Amino acid sequence: MVNSIKLLNKNGELYTYTPQEPITFDIPEEPFSNRIVYSAVHVVADPFANTDPINNSKIDWEATLEYRHYLWSLGFGVAEAMDTAQRGMGLNWEHAKDLISRSVREAKSVNGRIACGAGTDHLAPHANLTLEEVERAYEEQCEFIEQEGGRIILMASRALAACAKTPEDYENVYRNVLNKVSEPVILHWLGDMFDPALKGYWGYENVDQAMEICLRVIKENEDKIDGIKISLLDDKKEILMRRLLPDSVKMYTGDDFNYPNLIKGDEQGYSHALLGIFDAIAPAAASAMHALDAGNLEKYDSILEKTVPLSRHIFQKPTYAYKTGVVFMAYLNGHQSHFRMIGGAEGQRSIIHLSELFVMADEAGLLKNPEMATARMKNILAQAGVMQLSKQYM
């Protein structure tokens, strides 16, 4: 019997909760066969680094790369140096270059799938920023990733959003950048709920108008585009766009609210996956993908439907703070020895939020060792003044 724990409810009141016994997910060793599945993956901070934790956080390379090997072992591809890794929110381009180089090297050692984020985040913002500067910044990062042997995920650019005046500016920048890549890329349309600086991307705040421009870019550069990941948290918009894509271009869902049905698909198609939540729910997601491969939709649904409340909780507003929940899950499950994040982002969610996350993770069967997770949760609560500190599993 797992020990009980005193948690905080929504009103900040203590109540007693007893976690369930652990669930073992059935995960065959063969790769997924019907969907391409990437997990956008977090980085582990070095808690002992004597550096500025906001502007110059250090990465624990051993734990960070070990987690990527864990995901590869479950059958996932790794989407590296993306927003889940706090790109532009603690992880700058210099750190991202090191991360990409190391991860691509590790991927090659196990024949793991990897794609890496290319953006413009090393471009210093200034009042007279030009489209040409944005293009050169994109090209520099794309060239680096290709030299390292990685596939490119062409991320949305804050700099482009800041200096583009018309939808045509977006079309021209993307055309020029895509013209110079060697291999087809994955485009990434990240909604402003994930990054407020991207409001009005593609030249319009209206999603339908923005989608028209994005589709035009895709159709005009089809041979340079493998697919597009959209993160709008709107399943209807994703399905609409999916049906309008050229046959050669894949849709990768980035919808952390509606992923089960989007991946399962309908009579007109389905989405592949490039999801931040798969970092946090990896065993359940892997088991579900194998069930989908086997045509066992009942099992697929039963596994993933239990994870949706947790995902919606982790990605609740402000959505960009979701990284805190992802890293907290890694801490609860023993993938890192501490709950510290680059940029001090562990403080972006309340202790009540983390208490609710603990319960939802347990209800989804995602606490692989409930005894350890409970002890670690007690340690976090103790730091907030709830004195039930456990020395075990610290």
Q: What per-residue confidence (pLDDT) applies to 393?
A: 47
Q: Do 4 and 150 fall into the same domain?
A: no
Q: Do 129 and 235 fall into the same domain?
A: yes
Last residue of a domain, one of 237, 272, 305: 305
Q: What per-residue confidence (pLDDT) applies to 90?
A: 94
Q: Is the pLDDT of residue 258 over 80?
A: yes
Q: How far is CA 202 from CA 50, 58, 210, 211, 372, in A?
A: 41, 34, 5, 8, 46
Q: Compute the average pLDDT of residues 255-273.
A: 97
Residue 320 lies in a domain: no
Residue 275 lies in a domain: yes
Q: Is the pLDDT of residue 389 over 60?
A: no
Q: Do 225 and 137 fall into the same domain?
A: yes
Q: What per-residue confidence (pLDDT) applies to 193?
A: 92
Q: Is the pLDDT of residue 392 over 60?
A: no
Q: How many structural domains is the chain composed of?
A: 2
Q: What per-residue confidence (pLDDT) applies to 139?
A: 98
Q: Is the pLDDT of residue 53 over 90?
A: no
**DSSP structure class, residue 340:** -
Burial of 25 (0-12, 13-18, 19+ CB in 10 A): middle
Tokens 């993160």: give the residue.
231
Q: Compute the average pLDDT of residues 152-158.
A: 97
Angle at which helices 207-220 and 235-244 pack, to 10 degrees? 30
Q: Do 12 and 45 fall into the same domain?
A: no
Q: How many residues does the chain have?
A: 394
Residue 254 lies in a domain: yes
Q: Which two tokens stand for residue 259?
A: 């992923």
Q: Which domain holds residue 198?
A: 23-305
Q: Do 123 and 52 fall into the same domain?
A: yes
According to DSSP H, which parts of the chain are helical? 61-73, 93-110, 131-148, 158-163, 167-178, 207-220, 235-244, 259-264, 277-280, 282-293, 297-305, 308-314, 322-332, 351-363, 370-383
Q: What per-residue confidence (pLDDT) applies to 127?
A: 82
Q: Do 294 and 343 fall into the same domain?
A: no
Q: Compute the average pLDDT of residues 144-161.
A: 97
Which pLDDT tens digit goes with each residue over 352-383? 999 999 999 999 999 999 999 999 999 999 99
CATH number at residue 293: 3.20.20.70
Q: How far is CA 222 from CA 141, 166, 217, 312, in A?
A: 21, 22, 8, 33
Q: Compute the average pLDDT of residues 136-143.
A: 98
Residue 314 lies in a domain: no
Q: Compute the average pLDDT of residues 322-334.
A: 98
Q: What per-residue confidence (pLDDT) applies to 45?
A: 97
Q: What is the pLDDT confidence band of residue 388, given thresholds at 50, 70 and 90?
A: low
Q: Is the pLDDT of residue 98 over 70?
A: yes
Residue 310 lies in a domain: no
Q: Which two tokens stand for residue 131?
A: 């489209």
